[in-house]
Amino acid sequence: MNIILLGPPGAGKGTQARFLVEERNMIQLSTGDMLREAKESGTAMGRLVAEVMARGDLVTDEIVIGLIREKLEGDKRGGFIFDGFPRTLPQADALADLLAEKGERLDAVIEMQVDDDALVARITARSTCGNCGEVYNDQTKPWPADGSCVNCDNPQVSRRADDNEESLKQRLMEYYKKTSPLIGYYYAKGDLRTVNGLGEINEVKASIEAALT
């Protein structure tokens, strides 16, 4: 099964992708992770990515599609989760062409709907373990009182510098301008499934499972 997780920054896409990887043996294709992996790989594509990033230029759609192509040609396991791509309508068309070229299909697009004000409140309270990346929240899942991560016992907690109200609103504006048109695009194709992204983590997980059934 190949799916796209669609939603604004902080909607919980990464957390839900991790569940799908663990329980369905899927492969998460995160644009950021793929770029970092390519940069360190030493391959021709990796050297190209390193050169672009060293210049401070934006990585082109063609490069990202090239990285995804390499992944599709490898072990497919339980299918792919596209996280952070596509972000625009041209990228969606490019992904559709690539999947068709490789004899693959897109099975579902999961839109994680959120309320902006609630999302900003949640994200500005967010912190993560500096070792394993376990996510905490000052209101709903505070950093443990003993000072160590429940997942790996690491004592270091961090907050993203851009997890502040002004930065988040700017990121949301970029999402609505560039990425939200994908909602209509995939609805017209009959691929869109909608879940409440602001529920409890396990509630969101159950909703995604139901949408994929």
Residues with Cβ within 8 Å of 37's Cβ and at least 6 positions away in sequence, in order, are none
Distances (CA, A) of 111 to 13, 22, 83, 165, 199: 9, 20, 12, 23, 14
* Residue of 102, 160, 169, 189 with catalytic role: 160
Model confidence, pTM: 0.78
* Residue of 24, 76, 87, 178 with catalytic role: 87
| pLDDT tens-digit readout, 57-96 | 778 888 889 889 988 988 889 999 998 889 889 999 999 9
| pLDDT tens-digit readout, 150-208 | 999 999 998 877 677 888 888 888 888 888 899 999 999 999 999 998 888 899 999 99
If pLDDT is split at 50, 70 and 90, which confidence band does 4 have? very high
* Residue of 18, 24, 141, 171 with catalytic role: 171
Q: Is 159 part of the annotated catalytic residue set?
A: no
Q: Is 77 part of the annotated catalytic residue set?
A: no
Rounded to the nearest 10 degrees, how much is the dihedral formed by the CA atoms of 163, 68, 182, 195? Answer: -70
| pLDDT tens-digit readout, 9-63 | 878 888 899 999 999 999 999 888 888 888 888 788 888 888 888 887 778 888 8
* Residue of 71, 126, 159, 178 with catalytic role: 126
